Amino acid sequence: MDPLTQASVGAAAAALVCRRAETRQALLLGALAGAAPDIDVLIRSDSDPLLALQFHRHFTHALVVAPLIGLIVAALFKGLFFWKDWPFRRLALFTVLGTLTHGLIDACTSYGTLLYWPISSHRESWDIISIIDPIFTLPLCLLLVLSFAFRRPRLAQIGLLLCLLYFSLGIYQRSQASRFADQLAQARGHSPQELTVRPSFGNIVLWRIVYRSGERYYVDAVRTLPFTAPRHYPGSSVDVFSPASAERILPMDSVHAGDVARFRFFSQGYLYQYPHQPDVVGDLRYAMYPDSIEPLWGIRLDPAQGEQHVRFEHFRDPSQRAFERLWLMIQGKAVPVLD
């Protein structure tokens, strides 16, 4: 998730084990440690655009590595920032708890996190919350500020409890969206080989549905809330960009082919050629609109330059019109069908 959320959850976790007199120090250490695993953003290359994707949410987010990062943060504060009177075991308790929350929170999103590295390279994604969700983050931040100001760890603990309740609601919402997706596929006479539902940007009300039937992906959106009927937003379909599809246009030993394989791993296999720009291979998990096949990001292929790395591009639409359409869908209102 975003750095503010990661720091906030780390701080709240540290508050679980602090005494009242330690509140401010625990919140500070927990926040810094909670954000620290994102140090992997420094792994990048100007000549290899996919290197940053390959290593973000990688080993620094693993459950076996995060505590080591926490110990480093504690050692820095113990040795460099004049906290020498504090027992190291107390500092380490706050920082280790903070770093452990980082990978777990990221795994709650759809991006994919290598929680079990080096034992497994599986990208864990539980699909219960958006990468950015202000309804999740802002109440927690408010309670942390009050906790810091009044030295009341209980306020931060309440914030963490609210986070757990929100996750529970996200799990329920995902189950409702999954049920709708199953019914939708059956109504179309499809038996999906793959099916996924993921929250759209900034909320757990509007969900993106992607399923595979044969050699095509079908994309739809559904708005669901407890005690209300779901609202379906029909999307469209695209051909699967399989490994065999890549072989037909790229030599298997080329740099381009290796980059496609890396991008396939990052996107958990959900690759397709964007019909309006066939040289773009997109990650179908994400789009500006949950009913759209326009990619949020993708790689641009150039078989004539197959021994060079692919270009990684974003296709965001930050216009007010785009957010207005998304807001209408979150409210369950009618919107124009996309081309």
Domain residue limits, the chain: 3-169, 188-330
Residue 176: per-residue pLDDT: 97
224 contacts 205 by C-beta, under 8 angstroms: yes
Q: Which residues contact 37 (CB under 8 A, 6 or more apart)?
A: 6, 60, 61, 65, 66, 69, 99, 102, 103
**Residue 36: closest CA among 19, 17, 14:** 14
Residue 244: per-residue pLDDT: 93
Q: What are phi and psi of 130, to 5 degrees?
A: -75, 160
Torsion of CA 38, 40, 41, 46, to 10 degrees: 180
Residue 73: per-residue pLDDT: 95
CB atoms within 10 A of CB 143: 23
**Residue 195: closest CA among 218, 223, 172, 175:** 218
What are the per-10-residue average pLDDT scores of the chain (339 residues)? 95 96 95 96 93 93 96 88 77 96 96 94 95 96 98 97 97 97 97 96 96 97 95 96 92 94 95 94 93 94 92 83 89 86
Token match 């209408």: residue? 328
Q: Rounded to whole angstroms, how far apart are CA atoms 192 and 195?
A: 6
pLDDT tens sequence across 85-116: 788 999 999 999 999 999 999 999 999 899 99
Helix (H) or strand (E) holding 134: helix 134-150
